[in-house]
Amino acid sequence: MSTVNTVTEQLTRAGQAIEHDSFAIIDAEAGPHTYTEGQWPIVRRMIHANADFEFNGLTDFHPDAVEAGISAMLRGGTPVVADVEMICSGLSQPRLRYFGMGTHQFISDADVIALAQAEDTTRAVQAMRKAHKLGLLDGAIVGIGNAPTALIELVRLIRGESVRPALVVGMPVGFVSAAESKDLMAELDHVPWIVIRGRKGGSTLVVAALHALLSLAEARQKARA
């Protein structure tokens, strides 16, 4: 049985060579870091996605985050609940299908928009509430890259309604409540999380982090075979 990833790699040798060379450059230029063997591939892929070495240091992990993400993927069928469609569109569907995973987002649903208007909240808040009502958040991987209010609402659901995602990848970008929302998430110790401290973030980085976890999950699966 091959130990080389075949599902979570680029599909051509040329593509693989470019990606591997990029990772080697990042390793050489990133300088010292305190990340573990499991955490660094995630940070490295985030740097690769944005060519921004500040994520070496800004990225923070709950101690159980990597293992929780890998385990959730290897269980098969774990949903990915996102705050915006961009995350769902950016994730590789063949890689998700390999683990029986699907994506969900509700930001543009008519009922979500109507409730946000009626209750004077954001669509992102109502989208998280809808995911909870549908029973999608417990055991899910939740990716938030755009809306700080989605992450704040998720923290409320975790604290107040005992919602238990398998992993939260909380990386909303922005100037209003973005840094604060990630700090709130990082206060939790009973739900694993990966966050980017401060204002930086974005859906691209959530996708990069999840792709890195998919790669780690495939490697774990092959090592066990």
Give the residue extent of every domain in the chain: 13-224
| Fold adopted by 13-224 | Rossmann fold (3.40.50)
Q: In what order do the strands lie in the sheet with 193-196?
A: 59-61, 193-196, 167-170, 141-144, 80-82, 103-104
**Could you report the per-residue pLDDT of 87-124, keeping only the tens digit for each?**
999 999 999 999 999 999 999 999 999 999 999 999 99
Q: How far is residue 90's CA from residue 145's CA, in Å, rounded to a whole number?
A: 12
Which residues does the annotation mark as catalytic? 48
Whether the predicted pLDDT of 5 surpasses 70: yes
- Percentage above 70 pLDDT, the chain: 98
pLDDT band at 196 (very low <50, low <70, confident <90, very high): very high
Helix (H, G, I), strand (E, B) or coil at 161: helix
pLDDT band at 2 (very low <50, low <70, confident <90, very high): very low
- Its pTM stands at 0.94
Pairing of the two strands 103-104 and 167-170? unpaired
Range with the poorest average pLDDT among 20-29, 54-63, 128-137:
20-29
pLDDT at 3: 55
Whether the predicted pLDDT of 211 surpasses 80: yes
Q: What DSSP string runs through 99-124?
A: TT--EE--TT-HHHHHHHHHHT--HH
pLDDT at 132: 98
Q: How far is residue 81's CA from residue 7's CA, in Å, rounded to a whole number?
A: 22
**Could you report the per-residue pLDDT of 113-122, keeping only the tens digit for each?**
999 999 999 9
